[in-house]
Amino acid sequence: MLENQNGDQRAQWGSRFGFILAAAGSAVGLGNIWRFPYIVGENGGGLFVLAFIACIALVGLPVFMAEVLLGRATQSSPVGAFRRLSKPGSPWMIFGWMGVAAGFVVLSYYSVVAGWCMHYAWLSVTTTFNGMTPDQIKETWEEVATNPQLCTFWHLIFMVITVSIVVAGVKQGIELWVKILMPMLLVIMAVLFVYALQSGKFWEGVQYLFVPDFSKWEWKRSLLEALGQGMFTMSVGMGALITYGSYLRKTEDLTSTSLTVGVVDTMVGLAAVLVIFPILFAAALEAGSGPGLVFVALPNAFAQMTGGMLLAPLFFLLLTFAALTSSVSLLEVATSYFIDERGWSRSKAAWGTGGLIAILGIPSAISGGSVLFGTELANFTGQFPFLFGKGGKNWFDCFDYLASNWLLPLGALGTSLFVGWNLPSDLRATEFKQGSNMTWLYPGWVILLRFVVPLIVILIFLNGVGLIDYLFGSPAVGGSEMSG
């Protein structure tokens, strides 16, 4: 069982702590620091934060545990995991394949965003935002986002770094690097947090986070965004945690490690809001400006404040590190597939898949400045709202939309149904309880996997194809689409 086709011993984490750091590193990423703060802003905080925490508890965590369980039980990456636990030729296999495919899709554009972060880290060291006017800062962002060569360059650099870590292996590569990067990430976060604390606007940030602004809350849209964010930030839905779980010793405790990761991930998201908004408020800037929040609003704030020249590079370094510990988990899924199932060497698998993903990401990198992958594609996709959502999307937006609204929820649905209904119940129970001192969680977990997760995910789909609008009337009461 422990051997792959090369006959090698299967790689393993050096310690339980190594696994927790790697899994937390996968979970904590651009989703927490780049995406979560502006989504909180767009949905008015308060109620949205509650809904988000509920989604982590009811969907993110149970599926997280199911994935780690599948990986630990089979000692295989997604394709092998579904194959070993189902009958030959069974349709469950599809979810394993989908996971590998989703890894390609997500990493291809994730790396582009990570590339922007690296470019901004570089920019803030070399040219500093100090002294720039708000208009110049906005122009800088527009120039970056529409410059195909620049975006491609940083995207490729980021992919090379990601591959270099994965090539070095589970223990000597991923585990070693998360042990370096995660503490650095937490330290940088703490420094920025202390800065926000003494900015004089910390309480405004706390209010922003916890006091609801009902004019921005819209039941249907906000709940769905809370769910999507809850799944993305916990890295579930494509077998990244099956793969990481497969390097875990069978005796390791599944429950407490998963809970730890869930808590760390949620805390980092909340802390990111409490770092970013006090800084914005201290600079008297408007909050909630969409995906550009981190690349436009924050440099503005840094430009105005004393110490901004130091804090800006620190912040973008933080983003880059967070992205890197996530991107290695995305690449490891495809890499481990070729190692386990095709008998490839690790370096061939990592460079091969990494190279393909790098190529696949180029259209995303040039979307902002290309006619074909930008406006023309947007005109085309605009004709299929049930597939791509409202409004035309360029290549980058399409990939993001397809992954977060189709591939990941489908993967999470498959995993929860498979583990909840298809696994023999004695196997499921022993695997869950092995090494755990929280076995009382078991019955509740099974109920979540069997009923709650599938119901919630199916609701997203119905909403995605517009059925909910059709059944309950549109537009929904109490608010409008207010994205920035």
Q: Whole-number minimum distance, CB 291 to ligand TRP, in Å?
A: 14
Per rule CB under 6 A, is residue 209 in the interface with ligand TRP? no
Question: What does the longest C-alpha to C-alpha distance in the chain come to?
Answer: 66
Q: Whole-number minimum distance, CB 99 to ligand TRP, in Å?
A: 9
Per rule CB under 6 A, is residue 235 in the interface with ligand TRP? yes
Q: Whole-number minimum distance, CB 26 to ligand TRP, in Å?
A: 5
Q: How far apart are CA 260 and CA 403, in angstroms?
A: 26
Q: Whole-number minimum distance, CB 231 to ligand TRP, in Å?
A: 7
Q: Whole-number minimum distance, CB 126 to ligand TRP, in Å?
A: 27
Each residue 429-458 as x (binds ligand TRP by CB under 6 A) or -, in order, gives ------------------------------
Which of 20, 21, 24, 30 touches ligand TRP by CB under 6 A?
30
Which of 76, 162, 199, 326 touches ligand TRP by CB under 6 A?
326
Residue with smaller CB distance to ligand TRP, 238 or 275: 238
Residue with smaller CB distance to ligand TRP, 202 or 399: 399
Per rule CB under 6 A, is residue 238 in the interface with ligand TRP? yes
Which of 18, 31, 45, 368 touches ligand TRP by CB under 6 A?
31
Token reading at 45: 């905080």
Q: Whole-number minimum distance, CB 239 to ligand TRP, in Å?
A: 8
Residue with smaller CB distance to ligand TRP, 27 or 417: 27
Q: Whole-number minimum distance, CB 39 to ligand TRP, in Å?
A: 12
Sequential DSSP letters for 82-139:
HHHTS-TT-TTHHHHHHHHHHHHHHHHHHHHHHHHHHHHHHHHHHT-STT--HHHHHH
Phi/psi of residue 410, each to 5°?
-60, -40
Closest to 106 (Cα-Cα) out of 391, 409, 449 = 409
Per rule CB under 6 A, is residue 224 in the interface with ligand TRP? no
Each residue 185-204 as x (binds ligand TRP by CB under 6 A) or -, in order, gives --------------------
Yes or no: say if 249 and 15 are a contact pair by the CB < 8 Å rule. no
3-state secondary structure of 79: helix
Q: Which contacts of 393-400 are long-range, i.e. CB under 8 A and separated by 24 or more positions?
A: 394/367, 394/368, 394/370, 395/363, 395/364, 395/367, 396/109, 396/112, 396/363, 396/364, 396/365, 396/367, 396/368, 397/367, 399/105, 399/106, 399/108, 399/109, 399/364, 400/109
What is the dihedral angle through the alpha carbons of 389, 394, 399, 403, rounded to the nearest 10 degrees? Answer: -20
Yes or no: say if 119 and 320 are a contact pair by the CB < 8 Å rule. no
Which of 62-70, 146-154, 236-244, 312-320 is the region at the interface with ligand TRP (rule: CB under 6 A)?
236-244
Yes or no: say if 168 and 351 are a contact pair by the CB < 8 Å rule. no
Each residue 93-132 as x (binds ligand TRP by CB under 6 A) or -, in order, gives -------------x--------------------------
b/e for 352-374, b at 16 or more Cβ within 10 A? bbbeebbebbbbbbbbbbbeebb
Q: Whole-number minimum distance, CB 449 to ligand TRP, in Å?
A: 18
Number of residues interacting with ligand TRP: please give it, by CB under 6 A. 17
Instruction: Return the ∠ at Cα 49 (arms to 44 and 52), rounded to 5°.
Output: 125
Which of 11, 20, 32, 414 touches ligand TRP by CB under 6 A?
32
Residue 126 CB contacts under 8 Å (≥ 6 apart), including other chains? none
Per rule CB under 6 A, is residue 329 in the interface with ligand TRP? yes
Which of 211-219, 279-287, 326-334, 375-383 is the region at the interface with ligand TRP (rule: CB under 6 A)?
326-334
Per rule CB under 6 A, is residue 408 in the interface with ligand TRP? yes
Per rule CB under 6 A, is residue 29 in the interface with ligand TRP? yes
The amino acid occupying position 325 is T
Q: Whole-number minimum distance, CB 34 to ligand TRP, in Å?
A: 8
Yes or no: say if 162 and 354 are a contact pair by the CB < 8 Å rule. yes
Helix locations, 131-253, DSSP H = 134-145, 148-167, 176-197, 202-210, 219-233, 240-245
Residue with smaller CB distance to ligand TRP, 42 or 218: 42
Per rule CB under 6 A, is residue 233 in the interface with ligand TRP? yes
Which of 37, 237, 361, 464 touches ligand TRP by CB under 6 A?
237
End-to-end CA distance of the chain: 51
- DSSP category for residue 370: -
Yes or no: say if 156 and 360 are a contact pair by the CB < 8 Å rule. no
Q: Whole-number minimum distance, CB 29 to ligand TRP, in Å?
A: 2
Which of 27-35, 60-68, 129-137, 335-343 is the region at the interface with ligand TRP (rule: CB under 6 A)?
27-35
Chain positions contacting ligand TRP, by CB under 6 A:
26-27, 29-32, 106, 232-233, 235, 237-238, 240, 326, 329-330, 408
